[in-house]
Amino acid sequence: MNKPVLPMSSLSLKLPTANRSIETYRLAASRTFPAKLEGTLNRVAFSAAHVVADPLADNDPWLSAAIDWDRTIAFREHVWDLGLGVAEAMDTAQRGMGLDWPTSLELIQRSVKAAKAKGNALVFSGAGTDHLAVEDARTVDDVIRAYEEQIAAVEKAGGRIILMASRALAKLGRSADDYAKVYDRVLSQVREPVIIHWLGDMFDPALSGYWGTSDLDKAMDTAVAIINANAAKVDGVKVSLLDKQREIDMRRRLANNIKMYTGDDFNYAELIAGDDKGFSHALLGIFDAIAPAASYALSRLAAGNEAGFHDVLGPTVPLSRHIFRAPTRFYKTGIVFMAYLNGHQDHFTMVGGQESTRSTLHLAELFRLADKAGLLSNPEMATRRMKTVLATRGIED
């Protein structure tokens, strides 16, 4: 349960502001959420999970990934304890931004094994075409073969599939027919129903024009037609367009057995709550950073307490909008910074050196918003760690 709200914390630190000054920021009262799911859930909720880099590895971060496997799997166990599923080896794990396919496959194998040991905890894993260099892809048949290779590897590991968008297909696919050929062929072969991921170009510029057109209305027509034609092979669709109304429109057009998983890190609270015509389930990168609050909020919703759901989840939305602000593809830095502040790793080092993609001002505002939402699980530790990062960037407390 939440602690009683107190007027103010005694903790403070110096933070930079947009006008190049330094302010003394005093933390709000902390809010504590359960470490394990209390009650049940009436939404399927996945956290796309980050990877923990190994800061002591002797590697060149721009060229190769070094993973702290123990901490990476421990974080997934934390997510499972909260009743959430793990969406593995996805964009949040820096897939395509530091994490290559061989390392992704090892991550999937380890995660699936850990999920089984956890009592068959929920995990779906990304299968795409990223081992096929875009410049080497000549035809859509090359794309099909690449998908088949990754799907076979994930299924061999005992995993369920999230069918990721393909940069190679975005390059080669010129029409709805090209996309239908690829998805029809691939979906006909999967062992179990998959989640299809439509990732917008704000997350990955190389996916511009996906579904064969830059017109999003026409793209949705193509996507819905392909998905509904293969309804028996589709568990659900994750839409990451940061466009609330498009998600709602698509949700209402899907076949009855197909779930909509919101990927809208700007509007997830209202989309999950839904309306009299339906609701979205969740597959969100922000749930990595706010997993305890998300779990508690979802349990309140399942208990019929929608006001309690919004009371917890609503204040997390400004933080999420900040973390996912343009350039959106750099949101992973904020996700990992939250993991560092909350003690899930002992350093702020990322695969590919991606800790450098956000400014000191951005991190300072993230700290303020996380504090205001009650998302700093140990405010004293978070404050110490924030001061450490600021000191490396020339701001001494």
DSSP state of 61: T
In this model, does residue 5 exceed pLDDT 50? no
pLDDT one-digit tens code per residue, 35-62:
999 999 999 999 999 999 999 999 999 9
Q: What percent of the chain has pLDDT over 90?
A: 96
Say yes or no to pLDDT of 1 above 80: no
Percent of the chain at pLDDT exceeding 70: 98
Q: How confident is the model at residue 6 (pLDDT cuts 50, 70, 90)?
A: very low
C-alpha separations of 336 from 50, 333, 341 in Å = 7, 5, 9
Please tell me the predicted confidence (pLDDT) of residue 29.
Answer: 78
pLDDT at 8: 62
- Domains belonging to the chain, first-starting first, are 35-392 (3.20.20.70)
8 Å CB contact between 308 and 2: no
Is a pLDDT exceeding 50 seen at residue 16? yes
Cα 361 to chain centroid, rounded: 23
For residue 215, the tally of other CB atoms under 10 A from its CB is 12
pLDDT tens-digit map of 87-144? 999 999 999 999 999 999 999 999 999 999 999 999 999 999 999 999 999 999 999 9
